[in-house]
Amino acid sequence: MLDPRVLDTHELDAELAALRRGRDASMDEGAQGTDLAATDVLIERFEEEIRRRHQDPPVDI
């Protein structure tokens, strides 16, 4: 899932870990900074969403 806003909080951590593993594997295979730029942007989006959820109180409906 590429949009962190639609995931449950517990799913965010799992997807973020998968993105990081994929980036690390790509780096092990010789990928350079420009090759990893899109993945780095996704990782930042997930990290920002996690930070936002930790700062915002949960909303009861």
The residue range of the domain holding 47 is 8-55
Range name among 14-18, 24-28, 33-37, 55-59 with the lowest pLDDT average: 55-59
d(CA 46, CA 11): 10
d(CA 48, CA 34): 21
Q: What is the pLDDT of residue 1?
A: 52
Helix (H) or strand (E) holding 51: helix 33-55
Q: What is the CA radius of gyration of the chain?
A: 13
Q: Is residue 60 part of a domain?
A: no
Q: Is residue 1 part of a domain?
A: no
pTM of the predicted model over 0.85: no
pLDDT, mean of residues 25-33:
88
d(CA 50, CA 58): 13
- Of 14, 18, 1, nearest in space to 50 by CA: 14
Number of domains within the chain: 1
